Amino acid sequence: MRALDLVSIHAAGSGHPGGTLSVMDIAAVLFLDEVRYDPADPRWEGRDRVFFSAGHKAPALYVALVEAGYLGEEQAVTLRKLGSPCQGHPHAPALPGVEVSSGSLGQGLGIAAGCALAGRMAGAAWRVYCIMGDGEQQEGSIWEAAMAAAHHRLDNLCCIVDKNRLQIDGPVSAVMSIDPIVDKYRAFGWNVLTVDGHDVGKLQEAFRAARAAKGRPTAIIADTVKGKGVSFMENQAGWHGMATKGLEQLDQALREIGSPSCTPEHARKLLAAADGFQQRAEKALAAELPRHGRDWWWNAGADLKVEMVPTRTGFGACLAKHGDDPRLVTVHADISSSISIADFEKNRPERLSRVVSVGIAEQNMMSVAAGLALEGKIPITGTYGVFAAGRPWDQIRTTICYDRLNVKIAGAHGGISVGADGATHQALEEISLMAVLPNMTVVVPCDSVETERLARAAIFDVQGPVYVRYAREATPVVTSETTPLQLGAANVIRYRGRRPSFRDAFETVFASAYEGEGEDLAIAACGPILCEAMRAAVILKEEYGLETRVLNVHTVKPLDVEALRRAARETGAVLTSEEHQKGGFGNLVAAAVCGCAEGALAFDRLGVEDRFGESGKPWELMVRFGLAAEHIAARAKALVDSRARREEA
């Protein structure tokens, strides 16, 4: 199981080997000894229920399902690939044997408690199991569920804590100590057992003891080793979310594990199967990209070259540059390096006294930030956008926005282009969630340079809450330090002809200073998809002779209403583009331009069509979800053509 786990993560190029190796013995005992199930009838009513609350350890669940007969090895090694049932975090509708989708930490125990209650109401004999990580115990929702389970005396519920003592930011004890975890669960009224999480016999004994306990739920605290079985991974936080680099390193790991069935030779066959799956996915995807006269993809030709840099680096650069201001305090909720907030204190130890770690606890992060703001600090919070905007929304609304507290929120990894982590980590709703809040400013920069500049403005030029949405993957750099930029003021970007550099092929001015040139349409966009709108402008001009006014609406709230209305009046056709659920940005633009055009306005919105994301490579997902420049150009051409037909009629 450990060997197949590492092969699947290697084939994916990303994943979580450290935690999957630490939890593997637990998963093996559960699925091969403890749990009752029927792979021929995955929804068999008499089955025991297993919830993987620690959804990032999905590969361990998948290889357990292989051993249990739910899927084959060749399916497991399609992990995180486009179209695979083995998503980056478990997706229950896609894979029989998975009880519920997971990936947002801290929710599984509450679900398990509700399931156990339903079982008791039905007089059922089946049991409920919930696997959690130790860092996950930092989420407050865990303790709400623990209290409820004990209160309702759910002796048909057993939770297992994989206590490997490490999380992304380092030792759990340093990030946010959870100990004495045994005493805490006992104080909540649980039957608590401690066990060596790598001793199969002891795990079997613990599960038998859990079944025998009456009148209260059981918590098994399993002491484990992160990266268990591979010498260079054991007890190393850096292997939390990183695949093996190259076949030599994979082979070394496989030799150390010593599986008689999953040898390096067998691994080659599985990797070949994974490659075949990938090639078929790419072939199918190619058919989904609208075709124009030539290939206009990024850096595909001899000219219009562009540099690719992750926007998150701009956020980190801003904090590094301006972090000496004594009012600034960064509040970390794990994943600090991933979102670049740790650049604030990187190589600057004197700033560590202004770094506050709250662990995996986004709701508490916002409340702590509110308290810091009340005392004159400028707290800068940050995590993935799904957790920054969604999970603590009430704290943001009622505590931060209502009192107009000076809290800055970094919503990292925004959009579908987050990639292989899948739907649970792809933030597609935050513009709507944040823009609806009174007193909230929302900025969505398009590239790393604009991210650095807008982050500085958000921190120092706005007295009140600001949400900064930025992306994870490398995206085109289309602005510079000299590009006109003012918070709240949209820019007009015009294509001026092919140049060696993509950025130099465009002219950018403040919308307020722009004089219309009789363009055929306007495309309004925010965030990295602006770069796709610019590339669409190239396609529209070079292929169809259409002139496009591209609007960079980097400040979504307050919206530059006049710039949008002028574009509507002067072009008569407006298309919005967003890497977000369609309408989060587009509906704001629609409200701004409604009724302002002379005559009928041709208007359309492009975005994610009322669906969740999926695993895949970032650029694959831009194509799969219809967000690439080729899609924008095709939609824009159709919009202009429809207007022409109406005018002729």
Other C-beta atoms closer than 10 Å to the C-beta of 398 total: 11
Alpha carbons 188 and 152: distance in angstroms, whole number: 12
Residues in Cβ contact with 529 at an 8 Å cutoff, skipping those fewer than 6 apart: 415, 577, 578, 579, 627
Q: At what angle do helices 312-322 and 448-460 cross, to 10 degrees?
A: 40
Cα angle for residues 342, 9, 67 (degrees, 5° grid): 135
**Complete DSSP assignment for 66-118:** HHHTSS-HHHHTTTTSTT-SS-SS--GGGSTT--S---STT-HHHHHHHHHHH
Q: Specify the DSSP class assigned to residue 552.
A: E
Alpha carbons 81 and 647: distance in angstroms, whole number: 46
Cis amide linkage into residue 558, ω under 30° from 0: yes
For every residue of 617-642, which 3-state class applies, written as one string?
Answer: CHHHHHHHCCCCHHHHHHHHHHHHHH
* Local structure of 239: helix, strand or coil: helix
For residue 557, give the H/E element and its range.
Answer: strand 555-557
Alpha carbons 624 and 48: distance in angstroms, whole number: 36
Instruction: Assess contact for 468 and 458: CB atoms under 8 A.
Output: yes
Note if 598 is an active site residue. Answer: no
In DSSP terms, which residues pair with 161 in a beta bridge?
A: 132, 221
Radius of gyration, CA atoms only, the chain: 26
User: Which amino acid, 452?
Assistant: E
> 507: closest CA among 474, 550, 565?
550
Per-residue CA distances from 48 to 27, 125, 133, 557 (Å)? 14, 9, 21, 49
Alpha carbons 410 and 541: distance in angstroms, whole number: 36
Pairing of strands 218-223, 157-163: parallel
Give me the catalytic one of 362, 452, 519, 630: 362
Per-residue CA distances from 635 to 539, 565, 567, 630, 642 (Å)? 12, 21, 18, 9, 10
Instruction: Assess contact for 484 and 512: CB atoms under 8 A.
Output: no
Alpha carbons 240 and 226: distance in angstroms, whole number: 8
* Local structure of 144: helix, strand or coil: helix
Catalytic residues: 362
